Each structure stands twice: as C-alpha cells, then as structure tokens.
Amino acid sequence: MFKKLSLLIVALLIAGTAGFSQDEDLDRKYFGTFFLSPFSNYTKGKIGLSPEMDKGYVAPFTSVAFLFNYDARYNLVQPGDDGALALIFSPALGVGFTSNKDFDFFGTGMGQFHVPVFLSFEYGAGATFASLKDRGFGIGVGVEYNYAPFVIMGDEENVNEEVVARDGARSSLLPVMTVSYRKWSRGGGFLFVHKIKYGFLPYSVDVGTETIQDRVIAFSYSLGFSFT
C-alpha cells in the first residue's frame, strides 16, 4: 500500500517539475513551505497485538514531538489569479516523546514520521504566484501514513513486548483533513502559514474474547513560512 502511494506521489511531483521549469513566473505551480510544530501535535497509534493472541496486546503509542514539516504543493488547476486545486505532499519528521501506558516510564520511545497527501483547495495569498491578496486559506482532505516511534526505550521485559508489538502498533494509515491560513508579513517579505491537521480512524480489535474499540488520531498545529 505504502509503496503504491509513494510511487503515485513521486509521479505527480515529477509532473510538477515540468511546470516548474517554465519561464513565466506566474505559471509556476510548485510551492514549498517549511513548517515547525513545537510540541503542538498529538499522534495516537493503534493497539499492538501480539502474534500469540493469548499473550494479549500492547496499548497504543501516543506521541508529542517537535515536528519539522515540508509542504510540497503542486497546483493541478489554477482557474484564476487567486484560486487553485492542489495536491500537497507533506512529509514531517519529528523528535520528541512517545509514551505507552503499558511501559514503565514516560519517554518510551522517540522520533516519528508522517506522510500525508492532500487534495486541497487554495485561495488568496500564496494560492498562486499571481495572487496579490494579503491573506489566503486552504482546505484539504487526504490520507496520512504515520510511524512512531522510531526508537523504543525501556527495560528488557518491555522491549520484548515491543518487539512483539512492533508492526501492528507503530504504523497507521488514516484519513486526514487540513485547514491552513496564510498571511503576508507587513513588508511583504514573508508569507506566514498557520496550519491545522486533524485525522482519525475508528477501529476495533478482537483480543481473545474481548473486542476493543479505539481510534487512531493524528493532530498537529504548525507555523510555517513559504520559501518558494
């Protein structure tokens, strides 16, 4: 699944570079924005099941991290100076804390990775190269693959449990939506972007005789600036 998705993204973005090389500045369709989320994000993974069901399950990992995020946006359609329908590829890499209530201490793991892809409607400032608006916004829907934590820390017993739970508990694929607000700085030198992303996916798992219902969650608030 992830492999196919990656190939699709790559194909679309490479298509974007065709527009990128055109001389006319106003026709350019590629936009890059760099974001930071200073511990203003929350990720909750899936419950991890052990291969041997009788040994139970591992509680979901929850993460708060300092995220670095790069938005690569390609405008598929630009109907006017101020609007665009765009594809956004928004990989994010984080350093921070991941905890798991089954483990003994806070800081069970660290590091996380998010790869959402959105289909988005952009309007106003920063939507196109031609827009002269002071402010703009974007709203998009898509899917996100996330993975957390990269590294799990804990005592020997817990590590064993983690090993058991690794694949099921650390990666998720879920639907997400994003809302962004853009504003030019007073001198017009920087385009600041505030972005909120939220997604969740309910699921249920059977553990032995028990059915557990829970949801995967991905939330982040990011502040970024465009350097396109």
| Beta carbons within 8 Å of 171's beta carbon, 6+ residues apart | 45, 145, 146, 147
Q: How far apart are CA 71 and CA 83, in angstroms?
A: 18
| Residues in binding contact with another protein, number by CB under 8 A | 34
The residue type found at 34 is F
- CA-to-CA separations, 158 to 21, 44, 56, 66, in angstroms, rounded: 52, 19, 13, 25
Contact string 20-39 vs another protein (x = CB under 8 A):
xx---xx-x-xxx-------
Quick check: 131 binds another protein (CB under 8 A)?
yes
Measured between alpha carbons, how far is 146 from 171 in angstroms, rounded to an integer?
6
Position 132 contacts another protein (CB under 8 A): yes
Q: Determine which residue in the list 51, 79, 189, 202 makes contact with another protein, applying CB under 8 A.
A: 189
Return d(Cα 86, Cα 89) in angstroms, integer. Answer: 10
Q: What share of the chain is helix, strand, coil (3-state, %, to 5)?
A: 20, 55, 25
Min separation Cβ 217 and another protein, Å: 25
- 173 counts as binding another protein under rule CB under 8 A: no
167 binds another protein (CB under 8 A): no
Q: Is residue 73 close enough to count as binding another protein by CB under 8 A?
A: no
* Closest distance of CB 53 from another protein, Å: 29
* Residues of this chain that bind another protein (CB under 8 A): 2-3, 6-7, 9-10, 13-14, 17, 20-21, 25-26, 28, 30-32, 70, 72, 91, 126, 129-132, 184, 186, 188-191, 226-228
